[in-house]
Structure 1
Amino acid sequence: MQTPETNLILIVDDTPTNLEVLSEALTDAGFEVAVATSGESAIEQIEYDPPDLILLDIMMPGIDGFETCYRLKQNPQTKDIPVIFMTALSDTVDKVKGLSLGAVDYITKPFQQAEVLARVQIHVNLRNLNLALAEKNLRLEQEITERAIAEAALQQLTQDLEQRVLERTQKLADALCTLEKAQVQMVQSEKLATLGQLVAGIAHEINNPVNFIHANLYYVSRYTQNLLELLKLYQNQLPNATPEIQAKAEDIDLQYLLEDLPKILSSMEIGTKRICEIIKSLRSFSRHDEAEVKVVDVHEGIESTLMILKRHLEAKPGQPKIQVFKEYGNLPKVECYPGKMNQVFMNVLSNAIDALTEAMDNYPSYVPSPMIRITTEVRESDRIVIKIADNGLGIPENIQKRIFDPFFTTKPAGKGTGLGMSISHQIITELHYGSLQCISQPGKGAEFIVEIPICDCEQCDFVRSAKKGAIATAMCK
C-alpha cells in the first residue's frame, strides 16, 4: 500500500516496452508505479490496491481499454479513480467515445515524456484536491455537530465552510475549463493536420499520373488524326479492297469507329482536364504547406470548398439540386491562416447542406427550392465580411445560444461530435481576431456571418479592438 505522500499510478498495457518507458519516467518523477498487462488483471489488482490514477491502453487482448474503463466506472469502489487513455488511434470519434465512458484525458502514442508527466501531474493534483476537499468537508461537518450548542460558533463555522467550498469549487471549475479548452484545441489541431495531410497526399499522388495522361492525350489525338487521314487516303486510292479487308471493316464497324474515336479522345481530354481542376481545388483547400499567415484570395478558398462539396449539392432521388448563388464583392487579398479559414468554410457549408437535406427528408411542408447564398464584401475598408445563408427551416432560439459550445450537437450519434462550429468560432475569433455569428428565425433559414480584418498588423484599429474584446471575453469566462 502506498504512503500518504506518494501517489500510486497503475499502468495497464500489454507492450513491455511501453510499461518500461512509462514506469521509469513516472518513478523518476517521484510516483509509485504498479503495472498490469491486461484489463482483467488490472481490475483484480485495483480491487485490493486502488491506485490514484490509471494509465489505460485501448488496444489489448481480452477486454479492451473501453470495456475495462466501463467496468471500473460501474463499480462504486473504483468509479472515482481518474483514467487516462493511451492510444495510437487518431480518430476523433474514438477519443470522444473514451471521454464519454468517463475517462478524464487521453495520451497519443508515441509518447512524449514531458506531456505524459504534465497530464499525469494535473489529474493527480485534481484527484488529491477532491480527496482533500471531501476529507475537509467531513471534518467540518463533525465540528458543526460537536458545536451545535454554541449558535454563534456554529454560524461562523458554517460561513468558513461555505467560503472554503466556494474557493475549492472555483479552483476545480477553472482547472476543468482550462483542460476542456486544451482538449478542444488539441482535437482541432489533430483534425486539421490529418485532413491537410490526407488531402495533400492524395492530390500529390494523383497529380503526376494525371498530368502525364493529360499531356500525352494531345499527341495521341494528333497521331490518331494522322492515322485516320492516312486510312482515308488508302480508301480513296484503293477503293476496291480485298474481301478479307472488307470483312474486317464490317466486323469492326469501321465507319462508326472513324466517327467515334475522335469523340472518345476529346471526352478523355475533357475528363483529365476536369481531374486536374479537382486536384487543384484539393490542394488549394488543404493548404498543407501554408500553416502560417499568408496573403490569399478568400474567394479561392470558398471555390475549392464548393468543389469538394459538389457531390452533396447534386440532385438525389426525390430531392432537387441545392442551388448555390454567389454574390462576390471586389475583395482584396487577406492575411490569414488559409487552411484553417477553409476549415471554417467547410464546417459552415456542410451544416447548411445538412439542414437543407433534413428539411427535404423530414418535412413535406418544406416548399422552397433548396438554396445557399454566399455574399462577400469589404466593410469600412479594413475588414471583409463573408455571409453564408440557406433557406432551410432555421435554428430555434434555444439552440442558437449553444451553437458554438464545445461538444454540443443536434445530430444523431455517430454523425457529429459537436466540435465543428466551436472550432470554427475559435479559428475566427482567436486566430484572426474577427467575429462569427449566427442569425436565424424558425422557418426563414439561417445565416452565418464571418468578419475578419484584411491585415493582421498591430496598427490596425479593428485588430486592436478585436484583441481587447478577446481578452475581455477570456476574463469573463
Structure 2
Amino acid sequence: MLDPILIVDESRLVREAIAKILLSCGVNKSAIACIENMDDAFEFAQFSPISLLICSDSYSDRNPRDFREQLVGILTTKALPLLILSQRTLDESKVPATPSFKVVQNNSISLYKPFKRQHVISALFALTQYDKFTPIVSNTTPEKIIINEAKITKPSILVVDDESSNIDVAAGNLRQYYQVIAAKSGEHALKIINNGKQKIELVLLDIMMPEMDGYQVCSMLKKNPKTTNIPIIFLSAKSEVADMKYGFELGAVDYITKPLNGDLLRARVATHMRLQQQNTALAEQVMMLQENAKLQEDIEKITQHDLKGPLNNILFETYRLTDKAAANSINKAVNNVVDMINNSLNLYKIEQDIYQLTPQRINLNQMINDAINAVSRVSKEKSLNITLTGFEQTQYIYAEPLLCLSIFNNLIKNAVEASQNSDSIMLSLAYEKGYVTFQVINNGVIPKALRATLFNKYTSSNHQTGTGLGTYSAKLMTEVQHGEIYFDIINEQQTLFVVKLPSA
C-alpha cells in the first residue's frame, strides 16, 4: 500500500486529471493528496508520509527538484521519486505511442505535454516499479488526458482607472495569471461587481478619478455585505502617509504607488490572492464545523431517544417485582442512567458555551449518600471503610441536580476504584463564606505525568482504559455552576479532591 501520493500543481484540472489516472490504476482515493502550492504541500508533508511526489515546474520561486530535497529533509525516507509535470509542450506528431523513459537526476522523470494516460502510467512504473503502474501494451491509441488551458478558470481581477494606459500596464503584467477586467470609472466598476456575472476576487482601484473617486468606491464596496470581503488595492500617485492611512481606514488591504512596477504589482497581487483563497477556505471550514456540530447535537438527541426506550421498559417492569427493596434499587439505578444520558448533551452545550443554567436548592448530604450507595457493591467487595465528617448538619447548595449527580458520582467512583482492599476513604462537608465544600481523600496518588493535564479532555487518571472524560466533565460542570474544583497530593500517599459550590 502506498503512502500518500502528493500532487502539486497550480491547475485544478491538471491535479484532477492526474488523480483520475492514479485511481484508474487502483490507487486508493485516501492515498492521493492534491495541493495547489508548494508552501501548503510542505506543511502537509510535516504531518504525513509521502511515497511519491508529482509536481509541476510552473512555480517561479522553487523548482521541483529543490522542493523534493526540502521534503526529503523532513521525511523519514531518503529517496522520494519525483515525476515532474513540465510546462513544455512537445509536437503531437513527435510524441511516441510507447515512450522510453530515462530516469535522470536522482530518481526523477520529466513528463511533457500533452499528458497521455499511457505515458503517465509508464513514467510512474519507471519511477516506482509498483505493480499497479505496470504499462498495458495495446494496439489501440492510448487515451489522452486533455487539459484545455482555455477552460481553466483564472481568478478575476477588476482594474479601475480612468486612464487607459494605466489599465494596459496593469493588465499586461497580470493577464498571464489572471482574468483581467477593466473599468474606466467608479460607477462602471460598481456595476460590474454588483451584477454578479463575474466573480471579482480582487480590485485594483485608482484613487483620482472624476465624479466618483476611489475612496468613494471603496467605501461603498465595504458597506455592502455581498462585496465587503473583496480585497482592494489602491493604485495612486498620491504617496503621502495621510493618503495611505485613509485608504487603509476605509478597508483597503494594500497601497501601490504609480508608476507601477511590474514585479512589485505581481508579487502584491499574488500575496493578497493567496490570502483571500485561504480566508475563503477557512470560512468554508468554519461552516463545515458548524454543520458538524449541529449534526453531533442531532445524533446525541437521537441516541438519547433510542436509549431511553428500553430503559423506560425496565422502569415499568420493576413494579412487577415482589422484592420491593430490589425494585427500588433498580428503579433508582435506571433513573441515574437516564440522567447521565441527558448529561451527555449538557456537556456538549457547556463546551460550546451555550448551556442555560437552571439551578435549584439541593440537599447535598442526600446526593452524596446516593453516590455512595451507587458504588456500595464494589466498596463491600474491597472491604473499604468510608468515613463521613460534617454530615451531622444538612448542607444545601444552589445548583443543578443532574450536573451535581455526575460530579459526585465520578469523584466517589474514582476514589473507590483507586483504593486497595481494606483502605479507608474520607468524605467531608463544610460551610465557608457562602460556599459548601466537599472533600474526598483516598489512598494512592495520581501519577506525576498526569497531574498537569488531569482536567484536560481525554486524560485518564486511575484507569488504564476509558474515555478519560470523568475529571474533565467534573471540572466543566462545576465551573458552569460558578463553583471550583481542584486536587492535591498529600505526602505522596493520598489524593485529595475538593469541590466548592454556592450555598443555598
> Into which bin does the TM-score normalised by the smaller protein fall?
0.3 to 0.5
Q: Which has the higher contact order (CA 8 A, sep 6+)?
A: 1
TM-score (structure 2 length as normaliser):
0.37
Greater fraction helix? 1
User: Which structure's residues are more often strand, by fraction?
Assistant: 2
- TM-score, normalised via structure 1 length: 0.39
Q: Which has the larger radius of gyration?
A: 2
